[in-house]
């Protein structure tokens, strides 16, 4: 017993001294293995129990446990000290300036194209139009044929596009095929709808033309819808968007899907220093194509042209946005240059 307890006292004092010398987590871990690992000194000390006479075992066992508890709590304390020191060391090596303002979380903003689209929707919504979404990947039939452009119709030249590997499936060149979808869904009932969305064309890209751009199509169908309704609707729209004093001018034009067809201009404020450039000296600016829906198109959509008439229009909101915000290059819209997008 004398031997064993002397050994135990020595073990505790050595372990305590060594623990004091531990300066970092690595040496602490080594110390832990040495004393508390499977083959560690505490286990060895415990095994010595078996070599003692029976009557000495309980006292020795208690003594071993007491040493173990003291060493463990000393170790926990040391561990906390080491962690604290490591933290202080790293704080003084890489000081944090708590007075610096935090990094602002950027809230972002709507794309200028989205803003103008929403403005357009709300103007038409006030006039009782609903928004109708229509597919961007179309078939030749809907994009052209049902709009009164049979396969070799010369008007197709204006709307060259991107074809998919499936014959007859293409990226729509305008939102007008949406008219067919609307008609098929609502015939023979009256309709007031605007159809916004992306369109695609094979174009020589320039400051005025992109291979992708948005359009907003409008379609109104009902008994006794006339050209006067078209003029009234477009005038109300143009004045809401560009100012109540705007004058609207219509010119005769041609589209296969309307008869008669028109193009719509607004007068541009003469005070604007860009007026001359924008209007090419005429004072007038084209904002859309429009017309009375062609009887063939009405029939293709499931309406009886003797009962129902209607008007349609199509405009390019990017062009309108360029006017409103004096943007001089249409390619900016889909470039995703934040320096451009953040201005609006």
- Which residue's CB is nearer to ligand DAH, number 200 or number 333? 200
- Which residue's CB is nearer to ligand DAH, number 71 or number 316? 316
Task: Choose among 330, 316, 249: nearest CA to 283.
Answer: 249
Q: How far is the CB of 158 from ligand DAH (least distance, A)?
A: 7
Task: Choose among 231, 217, 238: nearest CA to 123.
Answer: 238
Q: How far is the CB of 176 from ligand DAH (least distance, A)?
A: 4
Q: How far is the CB of 301 from ligand DAH (least distance, A)?
A: 13
Helices (H), strands (E): how many in the chain?
Answer: 12, 9
- Which residue's CB is nearer to ligand DAH, number 52 or number 250? 250
Helix, strand or coil, per DSSP, at residue 71:
helix
- Tell me how crowded residue 267 is: count the other CB atoms within 10 A of its CB: 18
Task: Choose among 272, 274, 255, 276: nearest CA to 264.
Answer: 255
- Which residue's CB is nearer to ligand DAH, number 314 or number 333? 314
Angle, helix 2-21 to helix 57-93, in steps of 10 degrees:
0
Cβ atoms of 264 and 249 within 8 Å: the answer is yes
- Which residue's CB is nearer to ligand DAH, number 112 or number 195? 195
Q: How far is the CB of 121 from ligand DAH (least distance, A)?
A: 17
Q: How far is the CB of 282 from ligand DAH (least distance, A)?
A: 20
Report which residue's Cβ sits closest to ligand DAH.
314
CA–CA dist 197, 180 (Å, integer): 15
Q: How far is the CB of 343 from ligand DAH (least distance, A)?
A: 28
- Which residue's CB is nearer to ligand DAH, number 315 or number 327? 315
Q: Could you list the residues that contact ligand DAH (CB under 6 A)?
A: 174, 176, 217, 255, 258, 289-291, 312-314
First vs last Cα of the chain: how many Å apart? 89
């Amino acid at each position: 017993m004398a031997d064993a307890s002397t050994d135990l006292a020595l073990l505790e004092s050595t372990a305590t001294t060594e623990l004091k010398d531990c300066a970092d987590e690595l040496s602490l871990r080594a110390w832990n293995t040495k004393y508390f690992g499977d083959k560690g000194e505490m286990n060895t000390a415990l095994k010595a129990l078996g070599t003692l006479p029976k009557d000495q075992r309980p006292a020795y066992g208690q003594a071993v446990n007491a040493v173990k508890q003291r060493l463990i709590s000393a170790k926990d304390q040391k561990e906390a000290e080491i962690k604290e020191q490591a933290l202080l060391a790293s704080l003084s090596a890489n000081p944090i300036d708590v007075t610096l303002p935090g990094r602002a979380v950027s809230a972002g903003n709507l794309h200028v194209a989205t803003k103008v689209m929403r403005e357009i929707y709300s103007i038409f919504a006030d006039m009782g139009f609903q928004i109708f979404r229509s597919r961007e990947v179309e078939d030749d039939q809907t994009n052209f044929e049902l709009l009164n452009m049979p396969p070799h119709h010369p008007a197709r030249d204006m709307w060259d596009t991107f074809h998919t590997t499936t014959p007859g499936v293409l990226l729509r060149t305008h939102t007008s095929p949406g008219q067919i979808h609307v008609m098929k869904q609502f015939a023979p009932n009256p309709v007031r709808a605007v159809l916004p969305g992306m369109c695609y064309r094979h174009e020589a890209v320039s400051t005025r033309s992109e291979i992708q751009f948005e359009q907003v199509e409008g379609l109104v169908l009902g008994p006794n819808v006339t050209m006067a309704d078209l003029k009234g609707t477009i005038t109300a729209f143009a004045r809401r968007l560009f100012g109540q004093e705007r004058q609207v001018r219509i010119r005769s034009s041609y589209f296969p899907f309307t008869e008669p067809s028109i193009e719509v201009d607004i007068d541009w404020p003469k005070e604007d220093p860009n007026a001359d450039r924008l209007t090419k000296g005429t004072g007038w600016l084209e904002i859309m194509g429009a017309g009375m829906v062609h009887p063939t198109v009405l029939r293709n959509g499931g309406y009886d042209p003797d009962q129902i008439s209607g008007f349609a229009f199509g405009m390019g909101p990017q062009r309108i946005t360029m006017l409103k915000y004096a943007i001089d290059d249409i390619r900016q819209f889909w470039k995703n240059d934040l320096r451009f997008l953040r201005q609006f």
